[in-house]
Amino acid sequence: MVRKVSGVDDAAARRHMVPSGTTLLWLIKHMARAEALWVLHRFAGHDGTVPDDHVEAHDTLVDTVDAYRAMWVRVDDVVAAAPSLDEPCRRLDEAPVTLRWVLMHLLEETARHAGHADILRELIDGHTGR
């Protein structure tokens, strides 16, 4: 995801180019939120760890990417400390799932949104971030 926004300025990262209003900046914020929600909150049971994914006027792409990268470190620490991929989520209102399921879900979510980022990037400047 980060490679797909490399070289994009803040104005381009905020551009609404599809009817849904999805932007490159929102995609990065959303992925940080998804990782925090699924790994830190739902799997590990941490409170207060889920960032908002609404794009604010003061948000910059550099700061958003930095926050996303910082989230990777926190998520990696939780995953590395887990006794097993078969460990169940501690906080989940739906059917119980394991860390293995969570990681696969995040892989799917990242791949789906990376495709969205490819489309937006191509519309912005012809690059796909490959």
Looking up residue 62, the CATH number of its domain turns out to be 1.20.120.450
Question: Would 130 be classed as within a structural domain?
Answer: no
Question: Would 63 be classed as within a structural domain?
Answer: yes
The predicted structure's pLDDT at residue 130: 66
**Residue 25 · residue 11 · CB < 8 Å:** no
Supply the range of the domain harboring residue 104. Answer: 2-125
Question: Would 44 be classed as within a structural domain?
Answer: yes
Task: Report pLDDT digits (tens) over 17-71.
Answer: 999 999 999 999 999 999 999 999 999 999 987 999 999 999 999 999 999 999 9
| Res 108 pLDDT > 90 | yes
Q: How many domains does the chain have?
A: 1
* β-sheet bridge partners, residue 54: none
Say which residues have a Cβ less than 8 Å from residue 59's Cβ, sequence separation at least 6: 25, 29
Question: Would 117 be classed as within a structural domain?
Answer: yes
The predicted structure's pLDDT at residue 129: 62
Question: Would 47 be classed as within a structural domain?
Answer: yes
Task: Report pLDDT digits (tens) over 89-107.
Answer: 998 777 889 999 999 999 9
